[in-house]
Structures are given as structure tokens and as C-alpha cells.
Amino acid sequence: MDQLSLLIILAAALITPLTMAWFRLTVLPTAVVEILVGILLGPSVFNLVQSNSTLTLLSNTGVIFLLFLSGMEIDFSLFNRRKQPQTPLAAKVAGSAPRYSPVFLAVSAYVGVVVSSLFLGFLCQWTGLFKDPWLAAIIFMTISLGIVIATLKEKELLSKPFGQTILLIAALGEIVPLFALTLYASVFGNNSQSLWLLLLVFFAAALLFLRFKPFFNFYERINKSTTQLDIRLAFFLIFSLVIVAESVGAEGILGAFVAGIVMKLLQPHEDTRVRLDAIGYGFFIPIFFMMSGINLNLRTLLADPATLLLIPAFFAAYLFSKAIIYGILRLRFKRGNAFAGTAISAATITMVLAVLQVAKTMKVVTSQQSGAFLLAAILTCVLGPLLFNTSYSAEAEDLKKTTVHFIGTNLLTVPVAQQLAGWYDISMYTDKADNYKTYNSEVNVHLLDTLETTYVREQGVFDADTVVLGHFNATKNYELAKAAKAYGVNRVIVRFEDRNVLDEREDELTSLGIEVYDTPNVNISMLRSLIEAPTTLRLLTSSTTAVYEVALKNRRYTDQEIRSLPFVGDITISQVFRDGQFIRPTGTTLLKFNDRLIFTSSPDTAREIRRELGILN
């Protein structure tokens, strides 16, 4: 019977995402659907699966693995203080940046959530809804990091200030309740020990981190296919810290979460993370979610009038505890997005399940109360993503184009600026009045009194993401290129017509990170290409097809074969630049994070593909 129950759950775990994909059910997170499927399989509806020792063991492993992967989701760079600007341009950008940073907004918002949750916890005690105010407060202050990340990824917002703010709020919504739960269990648990012993968990984590810090450098030099040492390391970290945590009177989920943080700090390769996700979300975690639904007997719960009162009360408490987030987000973001961020922050399920599991072990929550907390949490996971997806719209600061400033307005630079105008924010500068009169009606040209370096900087010419020095005067290009780089311009591209001048200064400019090109060499390379590949010129000058490059930042497409890309029929990938060398791609080539793809396509297709692949997600 144990084997049959497990088989039914595994079959349901396979069928559930296929069914969601078939019916395009994207409103509900997969975790919520799996809990609902568990309710159908359990005594609430069909009674096909009964809890047993095997399923309990796998479910407990699932929650441990879930907390481990949650620990790996924490991006500690979000907690870093703003670096002091190192260049004049960086200082100018920092001075014009919004007053409130994502870190300030997130910390302020979550402090408000904690205060609201404590108020609601004692209100529950005063009204007689729930006798333990501390445990209620811990439950109300939880946020589901997994659901928030999935929702932000879907909207490709993880690299945007709004997405970073919501992500950090959600990270705090897992970290703080987890440590609060540990303190709660240590103080009120039957097997509680001295609180100082909790420090042993972090001491053990620090030792493991220092011991395995060089692990992934060594891992590159050994055979990985049959040993899978990175996965073995992950399981060693998990169970080492779980055992240490339980040995000092803490909860095992604390050890698992800290193990995830240690693994994150070890900086594993992307494929390691992918395989750990595959193990967790492919086997253990779905069993945990489904068993959470199976153990929920709705027939018994809904037959109790008290439970029917608790569900809407707890649901309202989940929402009210996060209401303060709206006011904090309004300090920087528009009204609709503040509402969307508040709605998705109200979604909670993962830590609620973990907290309830600990509460049941401590016998401080009844089955009716546990069921009401869980059902109310499920409702937040239905409502939160739905309201977010219907309310969010792009912030003005996220729609800004890359700025490119050309110094030198002539027959070479003007056509380039015209072709790039739809993709970039283009401005051109010249010190020649005749050129200004000639081209001002065709492109955005500014007339400068002089190209003296100080004057150019004061006119804001260097206030750009990319500066192109396309003037005919090689000496002037050299001086301005160095000044622009010293000012802090990210990319400086400089043109030289005289190869003798370039030979004297190319090494110096290259060492400064300045990109150099000279027309004679470009013409020579083009002529050689025309002889060796006659269609080269047609490809480069075609109005329907051209060569483009993009750095792969969107993790949705990492570790995918080229042939499985949804737009592979619209482009031709000719080269992949990875780790300093070119790779000749085939259909089975796996794409990696930060790969630079050189491809050909139409301009319209290229614009969409570069946007899709280049978004940090």
C-alpha cells in the first residue's frame, strides 16, 4: 500500500504541470496547484492516498530541500550599501538617482510588516481566535520567496529597482520568520536548550564554508560525470547542518536554510544550481506540497463552525499585515505598482507550512487552526499573483534607452546614428558650423564652440553610456577618449584614420579599456572577406538581415540547447563567445550564462531577441 500511494503521488506530480501547461494555467503557482491536487487525493475528496512512514520521510526531506533551495535564492548583494562613486560620472548618476534605494524601501517595509504582525498576533489572542500571539505573528509576517521570484521572473523584473525591492522584502519574509521560529522553539519548546547553543549552527556553517571555499576551482579539474561531487557536497552540507541544528535544540529547517546560504556563498556553477533544482523540484518538493494537501481533511475542518470563522479572519490578517508595504513603495514607485508589490508580498505558503509543521510537533496548534492557516495561505497565493499580473506596468526609469553620444558629425557617423536611432538615445556633437547646418535636420546635432576637453565635459557630452569619437582629427580623438574614460564613461569607441598615430597609442588606449578602430584596417578586412565570402557585403549592408550580438543574461534560456530556443527558426547563430574563446555552435550546443551570441536576423526580430536574451533574470 505504501508503494501504491507513492506511485499515485509521483503520477500526480508528473501530470499536474503537464495539465497546467495544456490549459495554460499561469494564474496559480505550481506549489498551490500541487497542494490542491493533494487535497483531491487525500481524505478530503477521493481518499486515494493515506499518510505513511515512507511518505512522511520523503515529505520531511522535501521541506528540508525546499528551505535549502530558498537559502540559495538569497542575493546578499542586495544588502550591500551603495558604493562611493569612483568617477565624476558615477557621482553625477548617484546624485540624480531616486532618493530611496531598494534596500531602504525593503527594510522599512518589512519592519512595518513585523510591527503589524505582532499587533495582529495579540489581537488574535485578545479575540480568542488563537491563543499564542508569538506564533501567530511569525505566521503573519511570512512571505513566499519562491512565488515572488517566479512572478518577478515571469515579468523579467529581477534586475529592475522595483523587482529588487520586492525580492528583498520577500527574502526578509523568509529569513526573519525562520530565525524567529527558531527562537520561539528554543524558548517555548519542550526540548529547548540554551539559546547560545544556536551559535553553534553558524559556527559549523562558517567552518564548512572555509573548508570548501576552494572546492569549485578544484572541481573544474576532475571528472564530474560519474562522481557529481558538487551534488554530493550539497547533500553533505544539508544534513551536516540539519543534524547540528537539531542537536542544539533548533529546528532542522534552520540548518537546511543556512546550508543553502553556505552553498550560495561558495558560488557554485550555474549547472550545479540547475541539477539541485531538478532534484528538489523534480522529486522531493512536490511530494511535500502534495502531502500538505493530503494531510488536510477538509470534511472535518469545514464541519467545524469555528474553522469557518478562522479562515476569513486569518486571510484578512495575512493581507492586513502587508498593507503597510503599499505606503513604503509609494515613496518611489507609481500607485499601480505599489499595489502590485503589496499584493504579491501578501502571498505566503512555504514558511507557513514549515511553521505549522514545527507547531504541530510542539503541540501548540490544533488541526482546525492549522488547516485554517493553510487554507487562508492558499487563498493569498491565488489572489497575490493574479492582482500583481493585472496591476503592474513598467516604471519610467525602466524604459530608458542606452545613451550614445557621437563627437564628430560627418558622412561616417551620421548614417550610423540614423540606423541606431530607434534602439538607442542618440545625440551628436560637432564644432563645425557647416556640418551642423548640413545634418541638423536629419539627426539630433548640438553645435559646440570648441572641442577643448574641459568645455566638452561641462556641456554634458560625456554624460552617456557610450561615447563614440568619430572626428577626423586623430590627436583630438585621442585626448577626448582618455578624458571620457577618466570621467567614467562605460564604453568609449575611438576612430583613427592615420595608422602611424594609432601604432603609437593603441596599447595605451587598450589598457584603459578604450575600444579602437581604424578605417584602413576595416576596409582591408572587408575586402578580404568579400574575396573569401562574396555574400559578406550583402549580409552587412542588407536592410532585411544583419549581424548582431547579445550577451545572454536571461536565465530562462541558460542550459538550453540552441535547437530548443523558441525563436531558433528566426535567427542564425554563427558564433558563441565563451570564456575568452569562440565556439562553433551546433543544434545541441548548451547555452551558458554570459555567453555572447553572434547571430543574423532581421532588425525587428533582432531587437526583440536582444531584449529577451539580454534581460538579467
Kindly report, residue by residue over 324-382, the tens digit of the pLDDT.
999 999 999 999 999 999 999 999 987 888 888 778 877 888 888 888 898 899 889 88
CA distance 364 to 232: 36
What pLDDT was estimated at residue 195?
58
Q: What CATH topology corresponds to 2-397?
A: Na+/H+ antiporter like fold (1.20.1530)
Given the DSSP bridges, would you call strands 572-578 and 596-601 parallel, antiparallel or unpaired? Answer: antiparallel
Least confident interval from 59-63, 79-83, 117-121? 79-83
Helix or strand or coil: residue 189? Answer: coil
Residue 315: band (very low, low, confident or very high) from pLDDT cuts 50, 70, 90:
very high
Residue 253: band (very low, low, confident or very high) from pLDDT cuts 50, 70, 90:
confident
Residue 523: band (very low, low, confident or very high) from pLDDT cuts 50, 70, 90:
confident
**Alpha-carbon dihedral 427, 88, 614, 402, rounded to 10 degrees:** -10
Q: What is the mean pLDDT of residues 589-602?
A: 81
Q: What is the pLDDT of residues 189-236, one digit of tens each?
A: 665 555 566 678 888 888 888 888 777 666 666 655 566 788 888 999
Superfamily for domain range 544-614: Regulator of K+ conductance, C-terminal domain (3.30.70.1450)
Query: Residues, the chain, total?
Result: 617
What pLDDT was estimated at residue 538?
65
Q: Which of 70, 42, 116 is nearest to 255 (CA)?
A: 70
Q: What is the pLDDT of residues 405-458, one digit of tens each?
A: 999 888 888 888 888 877 788 999 998 888 888 888 788 899 998 889 999 998
Dihedral-angle region of residue 304 (phi above 0 means left; psi in -120 to 50 means alpha; beta otherwise): beta
DSSP 216-261: HHHHTTS--TTT-HHHHHHHHHHHHHHHHHHHTT--HHHHHHHHHH
Q: Which of 363, 357, 348 is nearest to 317 (CA)?
A: 348
CA distance 156 to 325: 21
**Alpha-carbon dihedral 247, 248, 254, 256, rounded to 10 degrees:** -30
CA distance 424 to 510: 25
The answer to whether 588 and 563 are in contact (CB under 8 A) is yes
CA distance 358 to 187: 13
Helix or strand or coil: residue 404? Answer: strand
Close Cβ partners of 123 (under 8 Å, ≥ 6 residues apart): none
Q: In the structure grid, which three cell numbers stand for residue 569, read together?
A: 527558426
What pLDDT was estimated at residue 108?
95
| Per-domain boundaries in the chain | 2-397, 403-538, 544-614
Close Cβ partners of 5 (under 8 Å, ≥ 6 residues apart): 48, 49, 50, 52, 54, 55
CA distance 359 to 367: 10
User: In whole angstroms, how far apart are CA 595 and each of 154, 156, 598?
Assistant: 21, 19, 10
Given the DSSP bridges, would you call strands 515-518 and 491-496 parallel, antiparallel or unpaired? Answer: parallel
Residue 314 pLDDT > 90, yes or no? Answer: yes
Q: What is the pLDDT of residues 553-563, one digit of tens each?
A: 777 787 778 88
User: In whole angstroms, how far apart are CA 148 and each of 97, 118, 252?
Assistant: 26, 23, 24
What pLDDT was estimated at residue 353?
81
CATH 3.40.50.720 fits 403-538, yes or no: yes
Residue 250 pLDDT > 80, yes or no? Answer: no
Q: What is the mean pLDDT of residues 575-582?
A: 80
